[in-house]
Amino acid sequence: MDTALVAALILIIGIAVFLVIGTPISIAVGLSSMTALIVALGFHNGILTSAQQVFRGINSFPLLAIPFFVLAGVIMNNGGIALRLINAAKVMVGRAPGSLAQTNVVANAMFGAVSGSGVAAAAAIGTTMGPLQAKEGYNKSFAAATNIASAPAGMLIPPSNLMIVYSLVSSASVAALFVAGYIPGVLWALACMIIVYLYARKRPELKITAKLTLQERTRIIVAALPAMFLIVIVIGGILGGIFTATEASNIAVIYSLILSAIYKAISIKDMPRILMDAARTTAVVMFLIGVSSIMGFVMSFAKVPAMIADVMFGISDNPAVLLILIALVLLIVGLFMDPTPAVLIFTPIFLPIVMAFGIHPVHFGIMMVFALSVGTITPPVGPILFVGAKVANLGIEDVVRRLMPFFAALIALLVMVIFTPLLSMWLPTLLGLVVVP
């Protein structure tokens, strides 16, 4: 049997077996990839090549942005920023039907945007909003579902660590990806708000937030402006050419530290715990990137992307059909795999296929991040689903049924994003970050 084919079979079967027995995805990918290389190249060369690929995978200047954005997110999660953003969200949507749930959605989008983490948003905003909604008569399961469904909006609205990882694999511009995520991210939040509106219309007993005076509104917005200004600093600096995404991540850490100190929400004694939390998250992400680099080498050696492309072209050569097939694969993958390894694994497979049809890498990146973000709120392994259920003190089964209308709206929106490139490409093109033929 051909050596390349044997390596591909070992890789695929190995990952499948390891995942079935409950091995963490990073270990499953690393061991399977290294075994495939040992069989294909011999023990010495296989081990040496594996080590070289791990180093090559993480030896990237743009990747330095990830640990600093992670650290900035942890600081914000502990720094009193969430409450100020919740109050600002109340001002924006407090008079709408289902006002507290609508506030949850807007606050999640804002906090996810400034922290770059959907999980952090679900934890920080859900912890505060859940009890408030229960007190006002909201169904606990619906309140938790609203919090869970809206939290991933911040994974699309920049800065987004997932887009940095995609940029590394695809060589697409980080700045272009950041800007491209704005409209789909806002649409994600709007889709959730529509579901909340339809729910609240049938329940007139749900109270609308008390009307605030102009002075109160002004005071609340002014208090939240420093937190929201972080987005302006990071994205404005990158687009203006003042600093790179990596340098912007450092500025985000310094800014969030200063802000948290002003709010007197964290002290020096909190820093070891905050640094340790950020280090744990960063280590997981970097290890995934390293072992995925070994797997990418094995797939290239075994010509796996070409084989998959042949299979898909055998099904159809219609671009619309292929995009739907890819979206379905990504949605299914998202059920069982964290978005970061999924981006690292499937970008090298699918990107050449879509580019052959003239689809821009930035547009495909937004489509990919959107589809995989849906996976973060779906069982059996959705991290945001588990965090959101936990902070609400509910079981997964109590929340999933209430999530169904949100799923339907988000899947419809995903189809819109796929077949309306203007949603992701208009802003990058307007700002001259990409050139669309």
> What is the length of the chain?
437
Question: Which tens digits make up the pLDDT trace of 116-168?
Answer: 677 778 887 888 788 888 887 888 999 999 999 999 998 898 878 888 889 98
Question: Which tens digits make up the pLDDT trace of 56-67?
Answer: 878 877 778 888
Rounded distance between C-alpha atoms, residue 120 and residue 423, angstroms: 26
At 357, give phi and psi (nearest 5°).
-100, 10
pLDDT of residue 195: 93
Report CA Rg, the chain: 22
In this predicted structure, which of 40-54, 201-215, 275-289 has the lowest mean pLDDT?
A: 201-215
- In this structure, what token pair is assigned to residue 246? 């990596």
Q: How far is CA 176 from CA 61, 170, 276, in A?
A: 18, 13, 32
Does 353 have pLDDT greater than 70? yes
Rounded distance between C-alpha atoms, residue 120 and residue 132, angstroms: 19
Share of the chain above pLDDT 70, in %: 96
Question: Which tens digits make up the pLDDT trace of 221-242?
Answer: 888 888 878 778 887 887 777 8
Question: Which tens digits make up the pLDDT trace of 6-25?
Answer: 888 888 888 888 878 888 87
Handedness of CA 43, 48, 54, 57 (dihedral sign): negative
Domain boundaries, the chain: 1-59+287-302, 60-266+303-430
Q: Which of residues 113 and 109 earns the better pLDDT score?
A: 109
| End-to-end CA, the chain | 44
Q: For residues 406 and 145, is the Cβ–Cβ distance under 8 A? A: yes
Rounded distance between C-alpha atoms, residue 125 and residue 227, angstroms: 15
- In this structure, what token pair is assigned to residue 423? 């949603």
| Exposure on the CB side of residue 61, measured as CA atoms within 13 A | 6
pLDDT of residue 188: 96
Closest CA to 167 of 157, 178, 156: 178
DSSP codes of every residue in 221-257: HHHHHHHHHHHHHHHHHHHTTSS-HHHHHHHHHHHHH
pLDDT of residue 19: 78
Q: For residues 142 and 197, is the Cβ–Cβ distance under 8 A? A: no
Question: Which tens digits make up the pLDDT trace of 367-395?
Answer: 999 999 998 888 866 788 888 888 888 88
Helix spans in 116-244 (H): 118-135, 140-150, 153-156, 161-170, 174-180, 182-201, 214-239
Does 109 have pLDDT greater than 90? no
